[in-house]
Amino acid sequence: MPKTLIKQGVIVTAADTYQGDILVEDERIVQIGQNLRPERDAEVIDATGCYVFPGAIDEHTHMAMPFNGTVTADWNTETVAAAIGGTTTIVDFAKQEKGDTLAHTAEVWKRRADGRTAIDYSLHVAITDLTDAVLDEIAHIVQSGVATLKLFMAYKGETMVDDATLLTTLQVARDVGALVMVHAENGDAIDILQRQLIAAGKTEPKYHAVSRPIEIEAEATRRAIALAKVADAPIFIVHVSGLDSLEEVRRARAAGQPVFAETCPQYLLLDESYLVLPDFEGAKYVCSPPLRAALNQEKLWHGLANGTLQAIGTDHCSFNFAQQKHLGAHDFRKIPNGVGGIENWIQLLYTYGVKTGRISLNQLVELTSTNPAKYMGLFPKKGTIAVGTDADIVVFDPAVEQTITAANQKQNSDYSVYEGFRIDGAPRHVLLRGKVIVTEGAYVGDLRDGQFVHANPYGAAYSTEREVTASAAEQIHHLFA
């Protein structure tokens, strides 16, 4: 592979911001310095006026996943969209089918991905059928490079697990250094509320949110955290959507418990008013947990800024409106849950997070690259710009101005939940392990470029250092007052 020299960019990591040059060779960063002279065979990328970020790591995606009688968009389109947006690695959820093994589940996902992914990927395995054999298998799946497990406390009759399964999995995961990730909503309560709403003839998309109030998310978050404490295991709460569940995470962290969490762009930028759009348009915005009242947005931004939340993931789950979302035209329970967002998430977070002063440039990198790599077992191979790391690099031009529209997106969907949003900045060049896969905003890579990345156990969630001190916890509390 030829050498590449990135010149005169402003390099941004989670800890530092400085101007410099980066030399790439054999998939790795081999030198960082000032005024590096280009070697004879090196391709030179002029990054003057641009930021140079480590490639984004979206640790929460759902590619080609069966759901509610349909399937999410495939790897070949969605990973190209991801690359154009500056994402160079995803961690996708491989969902166990009833009676299946974890190893076979992972292999099924790898077969779906291999030769069809523009970027690198790792996997979480979602356990839906915990047997003694599956418990015994957890250690082996971790050794094979899958260091994170997902459990659903929602979707009764489909993927929902009981408290015994959650507790037992936490205990076994603790012993092998795996991190348990939890979708925290009370599935039993949701099931009751949904049945009552449908019986009353309340079938429209807005009732999806009515059936899943924030109290149900907060209760499940509190319960999951309590079980993790009993198991003496770390836990990671996915897609925190509002203040009540955020407060549960804050309280546990202030007490010194190893609790970690993410939120998603849709909860930072959209609200429940979208669910009542006429002509069934509200179905486009159905996701779980649902969009909340707008007042929750600033609380989530504060949670990102002050360290209550450690990461942002898109929960990318792309459907078409006409063919797929309309499956729930007469019953909101049948609307496929999820929204697409991987193509523009970095631009959205830069525009509405960094440029508004809600988070810093360094925090943008920390929340979308460095921390995801650390907690998912991919660091330091991924997640930062340093000598020896994979050369996953984004040259980001802050001067670009765009408006998001479905007509121009690469995601395989006939709509965008961010239609009409103005965004500033865009990736000019994207490198995946040293290979330029995006240039001047156009994808120039190959769907065989992406590789499976082996995740290591005992990631940052197992750190012995407490991330929240008593004084910091007190400061955080004041921000929520």
Domains and CATH numbers, the chain: 55-384+457-462 (3.20.20.140)
The strand ranges marked E within 62-119 are: 66-67, 70-71, 87-95
**341/312 Cα distance (integer angstroms):** 12
Structure confidence at residue 226 (pLDDT): 98
pLDDT truncated to tens, each residue of the chain (481 aa)? 679 999 999 999 999 999 999 999 999 999 999 999 887 789 999 999 999 999 999 999 999 988 878 899 899 999 999 999 999 999 999 999 999 999 999 999 999 999 999 999 999 999 999 999 999 999 999 999 999 999 999 999 999 999 999 999 999 999 999 999 999 999 999 999 999 999 999 999 999 999 999 999 999 999 999 999 999 999 999 999 999 999 999 999 999 999 999 999 999 999 999 999 999 999 999 999 999 999 999 999 999 999 999 999 999 999 999 999 999 999 999 999 999 999 999 999 999 999 999 999 999 999 999 999 999 999 999 999 999 999 999 999 999 999 999 999 999 999 999 999 999 999 999 999 999 999 999 999 999 999 999 999 999 999 854 443 333 333 333 333 3
What is the distance in angstroms between the CA of the first residue and the CA of the last residue of the chain?
A: 54
pLDDT for res 38: 81
Cα within 13 Å of Cα(125), Cβ side: 32
- The answer to whether 134 touches 149, Cβ cutoff 8 Å, is no
415: left (phi over 0), alpha (psi -120 to 50) or beta: beta
pLDDT for residue 1: 65
- The SS3 of residue 96 is coil
Q: What is the dihedral of CA 105, 107, 113, 115, to 10 degrees?
A: -160
How many angstroms separate the CA atoms of 98 and 95, rounded? 10
At 104, is the secondary structure helix, strand, or coil?
helix
Numbers of helices and strands, H then E, in the chain: 14, 19
pLDDT confidence of residue 465? 43
Identify the burial level of 318 via C-beta atoms within 10 angstroms of its C-beta, where 0-12 means exposed, 13-18 middle and 19 or more buried.
Answer: buried
Length of the chain measured in residues = 481
3-state secondary structure of 374: helix
Q: How far apart are CA 96 and CA 271, in angstroms?
A: 32
Burial class (CB in 10 A: 0-12, 13-18, 19+), 171: middle
pLDDT of residue 418: 98
With beta carbons less than 8 A apart as the criterion, state whether 110 and 450 touch: no
pLDDT at 481: 37
Q: Which residues pair with 9 in a beta bridge?
A: 20
| Residues paired with 92 in a beta bridge | 61, 123
CA geometry: angle at 27 spanning 362 and 91, to 5°?
A: 60
d(CA 129, CA 307): 34
Closest-CA residue to 317 (of 119, 2, 92, 157):
92
Secondary structure E strands in 173-285: 179-183, 235-237, 259-263
118, exposed or middle or buried, with CB in 10 Å at 0-12, 13-18, 19+? buried
Structural tokens at position 264: 């998603």
In angstroms, the CA 362 to CA 51 distance is 11
Question: Which of the 8 DSSP states describes residue 446?
Answer: -
| Contact by Cβ (8 Å): 237, 184 | yes
